[in-house]
Every structure is written in C-alpha cells, then in structure tokens.
Amino acid sequence: MQGEPCSASWASGGQTPDGTTLFGKTGTADSADQVWLIGGSSRAVTAYWQGNTDGAKHNLRYYSNGQGGTYAGARASVWREAQTAVNAALPAG
C-alpha cells in the first residue's frame, strides 16, 4: 500500500513536502474510543495512537477536535507532520 491515498483507511497525502513517498494504514477500535495509524517511508516506519488514557469511552469519530473536525479525522494530518520530521532527521536510503 503506497502512493496517493484514496480512501478513509489511508493516511492523507501520499508525499511529504520533500517528495518522499508515504504509505499508511489506519485502524479503529470497535467502539471508536481508540484510533491509530501505522505508516512510513523508505526511511522509517512510525505509529500514531489516539485514545483515552483514563479508560473513558469517547467515540473519536464524533468527538470534536475543536478545529471543525473530529479526532479520528485529524489522525492522518498529525501523523504526516510527525513522519515528515522523522524523515528529515534520517538520511535517505
């Protein structure tokens, strides 16, 4: 799974600003109280998780992130920013 993501199960945006191709796969717990994204590039693979450390059951598909979207919907952009920084810190290869 690589190239330009085209569905909700892909990370948004197929490349970092420097042109590094990304791949990714999202996941959601049955109750949507935890969401994650595992993805990477030829440089590194990273994982991003959102959940409730206190054990509360908040459905992250519908819980607002305060910026006009949901926490679940924001995972791809947050992960992409982190992956871009990791890629920049590691040599191409």
- In 3D space, the residue among 40, 46, 36, 29 whose CA is nearest the CA of residue 1 turns out to be 40
Q: What pLDDT digit, counting tens, does each position of 25-59 carry?
A: 999 999 888 999 999 998 899 999 988 888 888 88
For residue 2, count other CB atoms closer than 10 A to its CB: 14
Assess contact for 83 and 40: CB atoms under 8 A: yes
What's the confidence (pLDDT) of residue 93?
Answer: 62
Cα 38–Cα 40–Cα 42 angle in degrees, nearest 5: 155
pLDDT for residue 3: 45
Distance, CA of 91 to CA of 59 (rounded, Å): 39
Cα distance between residue 38 and residue 15, in whole Å? 15
